[in-house]
Structures are given as C-alpha cells and as structure tokens.
Amino acid sequence: MMLHIPSVLTAEQVAHCRTVMERASWTDGRVTSGYQSAQVKKNLQLPDDGPAARELGDLVLSGLERSAMFISAALPQRVFPPLFNRYEPGMTFGSHVDSAIRPVTGTPLRVRTDVSATLFLSEPDSYDGGELVVEDTYGSHSVKLPAGDLIIYPASSLHHVTPVTRGVRLASFFWVQSMVRDVSRRAMLFDMDTAITQLNQEVPKSPALVMLTGVYHNLLRQWAEP
C-alpha cells in the first residue's frame, strides 16, 4: 500500500527544519547504505548521531504521533529514528530495495523495515527533478509532495530518486516495523478503520458499528505480532 499522508509537519515546523539543516554539517549519504545501495547513491546526509538529526528526528516523531492516518496505515510497533538527506544538482539515488533489518545506532535494537517513509521538507517548485519513483505490480509511481507531507510504501518495493537538476531537495526518511507484517493485511485493516471512522460521522448510533469495530479489533488481535 502506497499512501500520501498530508501535513505531518506544519509550515512553521518545516521552516524550522530547513533553518537547522542549513546550519548543519553534512556527510556522504553512503555512510548508512548497504553495499548494493552505496553503488547507486549520491547525496548528502545529516550524521545520525549528531544534534541536528536528533532534534529534528524528535520533531518528526511527534508529528507522526499526531497523525491518525499514519497510525492507522502503518500500525507502528517501532519507528526507526528519522534520518535527513540533501540532494543538490547532479545528485541522485539509483534503483534499490531497502535493507530488511536496520540496526539503531548506539543501541542493541534492530528494526524490521516493513514500511518505508519519506517526509518532504522542500517545496516542490523550489527544485527540479528529485522525484521519488516507486515501482510495483501496477507500474512506476512518481512522487513529489508539498513540504510537510509524507509518503509511505512497502519497504520491499524497488524505488529510486531522480537526479536533481535545480535547487535543493531536503527530506527526512525512515522505516517502520509494523505490528502487522503482511502488507495486504495492513491495507485491509486501514480500509476497515477508514470506513469505521466515516460511519461514526454519518450514523454514529448504528449497532452495526459496534459489530464492525469488533471485527477490526479481532482481526488486529489475530494478525498483530508481539
């Protein structure tokens, strides 16, 4: 399931992110890549153990906690600490699949990457190129969202970032280990939760809502992993 989640960060929060990122020191983006990804990756990244990444990562995590759509779609068990990248003219990231397991720096934790996420921090008209292109059984999907908006998609997807030809593309990226590993089950639960929310607005006293909500939670109870 590929899903656009709007307004994870406010305009003021996005502006703060850009201010911090402009003052920060950047490093080669290949430092967090596996062997295969490093061969096709050309961008810059904030050091994941630096103060800028930690401050902005906390800001992103707070935004995710407030997003009912993100919680419903990803059903997060663990969220990898958000990372931040920068693409200048000529920079790109070729086709790759994200690593299945990501160790969290400085901890014994490892995160299974069920869901990949990119949070856009540059306005789309401020740079040319830099589209995130995700491939699935229905073809290629090009994504370039307003600043503050998030795209999530299965981490098993082949994807790439097209070369930036003008301006600077800033973004945060991270992964989610979901309580429900299977993407088709997550999609069904998301559709059911969306329907329940809509019915609560349209027919809030319907007895069928109690039954439908019970089905949702019983499926989640059956499919969720500890």
Domain ranges of the chain: 3-178, 183-223
Predicted local distance difference test score (pLDDT) of residue 137: 86
**Most distant CA pair in the chain, distance:** 58
pLDDT at 19: 98
Report which secondary-structure segment, H or E, holds 218: helix 207-223
pLDDT digits (tens, 9 = 90+) for 29-63: 887 766 667 789 999 999 999 999 999 999 999 99
Q: Which amino acid is at 183?
A: V
Go through the chain and tell me how many residues it has. Answer: 226
Residues 189 and 183: their CA atoms lie apart, in Å, by 10
Q: How far apart are CA 49 and CA 63, in angstroms?
A: 20
Please give the model's pTM, rounded to 2 decimal places: 0.95
Confidence of residue 8 (pLDDT cuts 50, 70, 90): very high
Over residues 74-96, mean pLDDT: 97
Distance (Å) of CA 145 to CA 100, 129, 151 = 26, 12, 8
Burial of 27 (C-beta count, 10 Å sphere; 0-12/13-18/19+): middle
CA distance 14 to 122: 8
The architecture that CATH gives domain 183-223 is: Irregular (4.10)
Q: Report whether 154 contacts 114 (CB < 8 A).
A: yes
Contact status, residue 87 vs residue 31, Cβ threshold 8 Å: no
The CATH architecture one would assign to domain 3-178 is Sandwich (2.60)
